[in-house]
Chains A and B, each alone.
Chain A
């Protein structure tokens, strides 16, 4: 076995018993239930009378009781909620070593620090993929229970869902650097909140396609039918992901670790 696989196994073991894993799946798993609730209000308008704000929101989002609409809203929930939840995951994986004071125990070992960073990113990737997949499974189950129709566009929707997943995972990589540089959870969580706010503002101002954290939302057609993304949007997002990885790696390997 390689150093990398040993490091991944060690990281995997660290997840054991962690409440953060359960909380992330519960919090992220609320999204398909919410989307299902919207569909129920569309399917059964008489129920919507008792929850008029919910119904109004469903109308605004133009949700239809069919698979293409259901999967599109699930993808949008992933694009926005993922920025938040995947950001939490990255801040926890990297920030915990600083908050728990365990970083110093990782810095003078036979496994290179760059390999440890790689292993942490691998766990981040697997965890986020798991979150995305679990929402897809829950969503599919809810869709079947609601007897949704027209699965003809299903494969295309699934492809878009997976592309959105990778986009959101890429956008979370700078959070790992902020967690390391900020030595804990607080700075990365503030950063995640800031990216969400700026995404809203910049997308509304028409510059969302240049802001990496707004790109997954725009890709998932959250703006409603207008594809604002250009080739540059994808390049900027990829560069953001790569930069986040390398900054984290440089910080772990080169910085003075004095506390």
Chain B
């Protein structure tokens, strides 16, 4: 079942095209990671999905229903947009109670459960103005998920959390996805997205420039062999003569993007040694998500 569907979604603010023909389809139980530079349109898309911004063009469907003023599925949705905020004079429990009232949920146990799950129990009666940034973020997450939504829309959910908190939240989200919750998550922490998401979308200048499954990511990320010798220009020439597409990526480093070399670095090492050019250092370079992301944006910029 399609939980989030957008068709040709566009939005401009003056001359700035914040969203340009965004079409997405996200299914039940999926974790969809959304990447983009600052100002790429991530938050505009998230706010549009939540009905906070009216698109100029296109449609949004949530749970198969068109998002319009009569949309009535809001209790199936939990969200955290940008940094978490709370009523400063109210305690953690009271802040949750406000949203319990506004969501018309009469089960105090749900609020208590969210407090426990997000490890806010010691701060239950602390005013939110006295919370640390990390605990405020936990409160924001508690507000987003206390009513056990079927869809969670999270914008930078790990902001302000310490490493232990990041792992806890990651596990919590993975648990929720396993029980069928669909999660739409944007983050600038690319490694976090790569650990969580089933599918990744990259937005740039308002356009969805790339969409791929997590398992595809491994294939898409480039792998190469990098080596360094005493005489790099001579080694490069020898490698080229041997049919290896060697390029000098740095005065100290030669890179070879060739499966024969990548699969069998020891043979190459032996061969270079026979040429009196033994590698001083040699390793397999696997592009990380950050490199992949920046490379994708570079390609897009060149296309523009």
User: Which of these, A10, A101, A116, A253, contacts B69 with CB under 8 Å?
Assistant: A253
Given A16-B89, A258-B44; A107-B50 close (CB under 8 Å): yes
Q: Which of A80-121 contact B (CB under 8 A)?
A: 100-102, 104-111, 116
Give the contact-size bracket for chain A: 20 to 34
* Chain B residues whose C-beta falls within 8 Å of the C-beta of A10 in the assembled complex: 98-99, 101-102
Whole-angstrom distance between the alpha carbons of A116 and B99 in the complex? 12
Decide yes or no whether A18 CB sits under 8 A from chain B: yes
Q: Which listed residue, B82, B85, B97, B143, touches A13 by the CB 8 Å rule?
A: B97
Instruction: Establish whether residues A110 and B51, one from each chain, have CB atoms under 8 Å apart when the complex forms.
Output: no
Q: Is the CB of A7 within 8 A of B102?
A: yes
A57 is an interface residue with CB less than 8 A from chain B = no
Indicate which residue in B52, B69, B75, B98 contacts A14 across the interface (CB closer than 8 Å). Answer: B98
A259 to B98, CA, bound (A): 21
Cβ of B52 and Cβ of A108 under 8 Å apart? yes
A13/B102 in contact, CB under 8 A: no
Q: Which of A1-36 contact B (CB under 8 A)?
A: 3, 6-7, 9-10, 13-14, 16-19
Check A18 against B85 for contact (C-beta < 8 Å).
Answer: no
For residue B86, CB closer than 8 A to chain A, the reply is: yes
Q: Which of A100, A104, A106, A256 contacts B102 (CB 8 A)?
A: A106
Q: Which residues of B contact A111 (CB under 8 A)?
A: 102-104
Q: How far is the CA of A100 from the CA of B75 in the complex (A)?
A: 24
Residues of B within 8 A of A254 (CB): 54
Q: Which residues of A contact B97 (CB under 8 A)?
A: 13
Neighbouring A residues of B86 by C-beta, 8 Å: 100, 102
When distances are taken between beta carbons in the complex, the residues of chain B under 8 Å from A257 are 47, 52-53
* Nearest B residue (CB) for A96: B87
| Residue contact B77 to A108, C-beta cutoff 8 Å | yes
Q: Hey, which chain A residues are within 8 Å of B143, CB to CB?
A: 105
User: Per-position contact with A for B36-54: 1 when CB-CB < 8 Å, else 0?
Assistant: 0000000010010011111
Complex Cα–Cα for A6 and B106 (A): 11
Given contacts A13-B97, A110-B103, A111-B104, contact A104 B89 (CB under 8 A): no
Query: In the bound complex, do residue B90 and residue A17 qualify as a contact, i.e. CB atoms below 8 Å apart?
Result: yes
Q: Mark B79-103, 1 if CB is under 8 A from A, else 0.
A: 1011101111110001001110111
Whether the Cβ atoms of B90 and A105 lie closer than 8 Å is no
The residues of A that contact B69 with a CB separation of less than 8 Å are: 253
Report Cα–Cα, A100/B101, bound state, in Å.
Answer: 20
Residues of B close to A104: CB separation below 8 A: 47, 52, 81-82, 85
Q: How many residues of B contact A (CB 8 A)?
A: 33
A-B contact count (CB 8 A): 81
Q: A6-B104, A14-B90, A257-B47 are in contact. Are A105 and B52 (CB under 8 A)?
A: no
Q: When the two chains form their complex, are residues A256 and B53 in contact, meaning their CB atoms are under 8 A apart?
A: yes
* B74 near A109: Cβ-Cβ < 8 Å: yes
Rounded to whole Å, the gap between the CB of A2 and the closest CB of chain B is: 10
Known: A253-B69, A258-B44. A107 touches B51 (CB 8 A): yes
| Nearest CB of B to A5, in Å | 9
A122 to chain B, nearest CB (A): 14
Q: Nearest Cβ distance between residue A23 and chain B, in whole angstroms? A: 13
* CA A257 to CA B88, docked complex, whole Å: 22
In the docked arrangement, what's the CA distance between A106 and B85, Å? 11
Asked, given contacts A108-B51, A108-B52, whether A100 binds B88 with beta carbons under 8 Å apart, the answer is: yes
Which residues in chain B, 24-65, are within 8 Å of chain A measured between CB atoms? 44, 47, 50-54
- Decide: A258 and B47 in contact? CB cutoff 8 A: yes
- A6-B101, A258-B44 known; A107-B52 Cβ under 8 A: yes
With A9-B101, A109-B102, A258-B13 known to touch, is A101 a contact of B85 (CB < 8 Å)? yes
CA distance A256 to B6 in the complex (A): 18
Closest to B50 in A: A108
Closest residue of chain A to B82, judged by CB? A104
Shortest distance from the beta carbon of A140 to any chain B beta carbon, whole Å = 32
A102 to B87: give the CA distance in the assembly, Å: 7
Output the least CB separation between B129 and chain A (Å): 10
Can you spell out 26 A-B residue pairs with CB atoms less than 8 angstroms apart?
A6-B104, A10-B98, A10-B99, A10-B101, A13-B97, A13-B101, A16-B89, A17-B89, A100-B86, A102-B86, A104-B81, A104-B82, A104-B85, A106-B102, A108-B74, A108-B77, A109-B102, A109-B103, A110-B75, A110-B102, A111-B102, A111-B103, A111-B104, A116-B102, A254-B54, A258-B53
Nearest first, the 4 A-B pairs at minimum CB distance are A101-B85, A108-B50, A10-B101, A17-B89
The residues of B with any CB-CB pair to A shorter than 8 Å are: 13, 44, 47, 50-54, 69, 72, 74-75, 77, 79, 81-83, 85-90, 94, 97-99, 101-104, 127, 143
Other than A109-B74, A258-B53, give 18 A-B pairs with Cβ distance below 8 A. Answer: A3-B104, A14-B87, A17-B90, A17-B127, A100-B85, A101-B85, A102-B85, A104-B85, A105-B99, A106-B102, A107-B51, A108-B51, A111-B103, A116-B102, A254-B54, A256-B54, A257-B47, A258-B13
